[in-house]
Structure formats: C-alpha cells, structure tokens
Structure 1
Amino acid sequence: MEKQTFTVQGMSCSHCAQTIQDLLLAIDGVENLHIQLDNKEVTIEFQDHLTIEDLNHQLKDTHYQLSKK
C-alpha cells in the first residue's frame, strides 16, 4: 500500500473535488483519499500496482490532472 500526495491541476471548487473523488474511488486499488481544496492537493492511499498514469487515465475525460508534488 502506498500513500502519496499529488497536486491537482484544474480543481477550483467543491464540485470539482467531488467529481475527482468519485472518479478516483472508482478505481480498483484506491483505498482512501483526502482532498485539500485550498492547496489543490489530493492524498491517495492505493495498492502498489497502481501508478500516477493509472490515476490520470481515470481523469482523462475531464480537465483535471494529477502531478507529483
């Protein structure tokens, strides 16, 4: 299990945060997450087999993108 914090590009409101949360929690292997809207960050607990590319793939149809902090 890994726990990493990412910067979220494109997140600006609570609706954005909810959309991101719903999409990321739908990924098999994402166990938990915490969004910090003020900092435009998300901390995600996920299984070791997942990568940032896997997480961003789930967001591909949105204007949001994760980048390593």
Structure 2
Amino acid sequence: MFEKTYTVTGMTCQHCVASVTEEVGELDGVQSVNVDLDTGAVTVTSEAELAEDNVRSAVEEAGYTLTA
C-alpha cells in the first residue's frame, strides 16, 4: 500500500470535498481518499504509487488545483 498527501486549492465546502473524492477515487488502484477541507490536504491510499499527473488531472476535472 502507498499513501501520499497532496495539497489542493479552491475547495470551500463539502460539495468540493465530494467532487475531489469522487474524481481521485476513480483512478486505477485507489483504495481511499481522505480530504481535509480546512487545510486542503488530500491523502490518497493506493495499491501502487500513482503518477502525479494522473492525480493532477483528476483534481482539475473536479474543478480544483493541485499545488503540491
């Protein structure tokens, strides 16, 4: 199992959290997505290391920006 925390900007409400969780959760191998709205931290647990470009694309599809 791999776990990595990313920082996402632009999220302001629980709908934002749900959108990011849904899009990132659809990536191959993702086991869980935990979003902390207050800090913008998005922790992803997956079967294998994810390509950051894939995570970035999923976050952007949800309408937000991956900053780290």
Q: TM-score range by the shorter chain?
A: 0.7 to 0.9
1:10 aligns with 2:10: yes
Q: How does 1:1-69 map to 2 (within 5 A)?
A: 1-68=1-68
TM-score normalized by the length of structure 1: 0.81
In the alignment, is the contact (CA less than 8 A) between 1:24 and 1:55 conserved in 2?
Answer: yes
% identical aligned pairs: 28
Structure 2, unmatched stretches of 5+, are: none
Give the match's secondary structure for 1:39. coil
CA gap 1:48/1:23 in 2 versus in 1, 3 angstroms: same
Number of equivalenced pairs: 68
Give the alignment's Cα RMSD to 1 decimal.
Answer: 1.6
For residue 11 of structure 2, what is the amino acid of its counterpart? M
TM-score normalized by the length of structure 2: 0.82
Give the match's secondary structure for 1:48. coil
Structure 1, unmatched stretches of 5+, are: none
